[in-house]
Amino acid sequence: MIQYSNGRITIFQSALFQTTSTVVHLDDFVLVVDPNWLPGEIREIKEHVAAVQGDKPCYLLFTHGDYDHIIGYKAFPGAKTIGSAGLAHHPDKERKLELIRDFDATYYVTRDDPVAFPELDIVIGEDGQQVTIGSTALTFYLAPGHTEDGLFAVIDAEGVMIAGDYLSDFELPFIYHSAKAYEETINKAKRILRDHPVRLLIPGHGRYADDRAEMDRRVHVALDHLMRLKEAVFDGDEEALGQLKLEHGFLSETTMECHKENVRIMRKELLGGAVRQEGQTLNYAIRPISDQDIPFLWDMLYESLYVPEGGKPFGREILQDPAIAKYAEHWGRPGDIGWIAVTDDGQPIGTITARLFDESNRGYGYIGPDVPELGMAISQSYRGKGIGTALMKALFDELRKQGISRVSLSVDPNNEAAVKLYRRFGFTDVDAVDTSITMVADVERTAYSFGGAKGEEDIENR
């Protein structure tokens, strides 16, 4: 159906996902944006183009390579094509075509034209790149985040901004590429709206906006959702994440999966990393320790007890020793700081903690009541993969944030790998008692490059 028309710009809206396809009919050319979805809908767009084109050239603009946006490519033979360099070099072209074929087979759809991935005549590789057709200039901006190959287009002469899968009136951010890039792209859109005379904003899904206050609202909504998503992921706030999930329009299994992917990507970029495990790449995230993690915290306390090679392991009953138990019991009291590394499938693989003690309840690495004592352990099969470094970085960032100037620890001098790694983090020896060295690091002064420790052995420190 036609959602909007002013004689020069016509916005078609599909019955599926409110996906839009725009036809810009100017004196010098006709521009068709993302022709989609169903055969009858594409046929309607073709008929409109045929009615207005005359002898003018036709151009096809693809805002990105999601299959719903390229599905009508072959309906316009002879048209010149425009898209981003990311689209031209898309790594999963065949997969996108498989999705089209699967959709058509599932719903018994037969098409008038074959399906193919767009081959581009004009490739956009940088922000601000202009293409002039006749007397009309089109300005393009790269728009990664939703996908890696996203593209904005602005036609100043018509006051039009074509936004692809951003700035919908109902669709919150769907992140398939990068949360960081998505935020940067929304801020870029904010600058475009400031610097260009945009009077008509056309998203890839949903209603157009022809009111500047509404355009600004959409920018704010997207940035606000991303900010709250970032905070909830960083804080490990499952309640807040659940609320964010419910804010998506048209709640369904699809939006639930999209939210889940948003969280996964945000966790990976904000807190996570990846390791090789049994020939596979395993992604993990680092988040604050919560109540549900306390049983694993006790497991890691046990793992942290150093046993020399060939020595007899401690029995689990050692965790009942008050001198050991004090590092985990009643976890969550004021001043406790802790982070946990968790794989994508929810398996915990390591922890790091910092806890304050006092003169009446000294830890092995006690320095003073205002100096927290650090403890760290990684599950045995995940050691030596840089996870300890990532945990240490998270802890030091939080110590700095809280204004804590020093942190201490206790380590067995025979645990040479641990001693070496802690010294790389800026820890220095300040005392030796029985079979342990007390070490201290100045949090603010530690200028250690955390990336430099990748490949070092992850260790247990007591």
Q: Are residues 372 and 279 in the same domain?
A: yes
213 is a domain residue = yes
Give the CATH number for residue 94: 3.60.15.10
Measured distance CA(17)–CA(182) in Å, rounded? 21
Domain of 393? Answer: 273-453
Q: Judge contact between 341 and 300, C-beta under 8 A.
A: no
Measured distance CA(71)–CA(80) in Å, rounded? 16
Boundary (domain end) residue, out of 241, 268, 295: 268
Q: Judge contact between 427 and 441, C-beta under 8 A.
A: yes
Q: Are residues 90 and 195 in the same domain?
A: yes
Which H/E stretch holds residue 271? helix 253-271
Q: Are residues 290 and 401 in the same domain?
A: yes
461 is a domain residue = no
Question: How does DSSP classify residue 383?
Answer: T
What residues in the chain have per-residue pLDDT under 70? 271-281, 446-462
Q: Are residues 212 and 339 in the same domain?
A: no
Number of structural domains (the chain) is: 2
**pLDDT value for 325:** 94
413 is a domain residue = yes
DSSP bridge partners of 84? 124
Q: Are residues 71 and 103 in the same domain?
A: yes
Measured distance CA(66)–CA(86) in Å, rounded? 12
Q: Are residues 212 and 307 in the same domain?
A: no
**pLDDT value for 279:** 59
Please return the burial class of 108, using the count of CB atoms within 10 Å of its CB with bins 0-12, 13-18 and 19+: exposed
Give the CATH number for residue 374: 3.40.630.30
172 is a domain residue = yes
Phi/psi class of residue 128: alpha, beta or left (left: φ > 0; alpha: ψ in -120 to 50)? Answer: left
Q: What angle do CA 368, 373, 379 make, to 5 degrees?
A: 170
